[in-house]
Amino acid sequence: MSDIKSEYGWDPSMGISLYDKIRQDMKLAMVNKNHAVRDTMRLIMGSFPSLTVAITLESGKKTTRVKKPEEITDEDLMDIIRQFIKSEKTVLEYKNETTSDYLNLLHCYLPKMATQEEIEQWIKDTVDFSAFKSPMQAMGTVMKHYGKSASGDTVREILKRMGTA
C-alpha cells in the first residue's frame, strides 16, 4: 500500500486539478496493470454523470444537464469521493473490519484534514468568546473557516472543552 500512496493520490498544492489527476492516475494504473487503482478511478469517473447543472430551456421549463469536464470542480469530485468513503466505512463496519486498501486509496485523493491542535490554535487566536453567550455558538464561525477540512464532531469537542476550561 505504501507504493500506492507515493505513486497515486492528489493534493491541492500539486497544481493539477483533481479531475486531471484522476484521469492521469487511471492511465498510469492501466500501464502498471494495477487493477485496484484502475477500478477505483473508473468507479469515481463513472459517477461523473451524477454531476449536473440546472438549466432553463427556451420554453421556460427548468431541467438539468450533465456537467462538462471543464465545469467539474475539485469540490464536486471530493464530494463523490467522500460518498464512496462513507459507503466503504459502512461495508467495513458490517464486516467488522477497520480499514481496506480501497478506503486508503480514496483517502489519498482528499486534502489533509485539519488536526485538533490546528483547530484549537485557530480558535484561540481568532474567536472572541465574549461575543457569544455559549462557546458552542462559535461553531458556525469555526466551520465556516475550515469547511469540510474539519470534522464537526472534532470542532464540537474542542469547543466543549474550551467552554468548561
Pick from 63, 56, 78: nearest CA to 12:
78
DSSP string, 24-45: HHHHHHHHTT-HHHHHHHHHHH
Q: 101 and 157: one domain?
A: no
Q: 43 and 89: one domain?
A: yes
Query: Are the C-beta atoms of residues 90 and 82 closer than 8 Å to each other?
Result: no
Measured in degrees and rounded to the nearest 5, phi and psi for residue 57 equal: -75, 165
For 45-95, write each residue's pLDDT tens digit. Answer: 999 999 999 999 999 999 999 999 999 999 899 999 999 999 999 999 999
Residue found under cell 490554535:
121
DSSP string, 60-128: S-EEEEEPPGGG--HHHHHHHHHHHHHHHHHHHHHHT----HHHHHHHTTSPPPPPHHHHHHHHHHH--
Q: 98 and 123: one domain?
A: no
Query: Are the C-beta atoms of residues 69 and 137 closer than 8 Å to each other?
Result: no
DSSP bridge pairs for 62: 56
Domain count, the chain: 2
Q: 67 and 141: one domain?
A: no
Q: 24 and 99: one domain?
A: yes
Q: 28 and 85: one domain?
A: yes
Does the pLDDT value for residue 41 go beyond 70?
Answer: yes
Does the pLDDT value for residue 2 go beyond 80?
Answer: no
pTM score of the predicted model: 0.75
**Mean pLDDT over the full length of the chain:** 87
Does the pLDDT value for residue 3 go beyond 80?
Answer: no
The domain containing residue 52 runs over which residues?
2-107
Query: Are the C-beta atoms of residues 127 and 142 closer than 8 Å to each other?
Result: yes
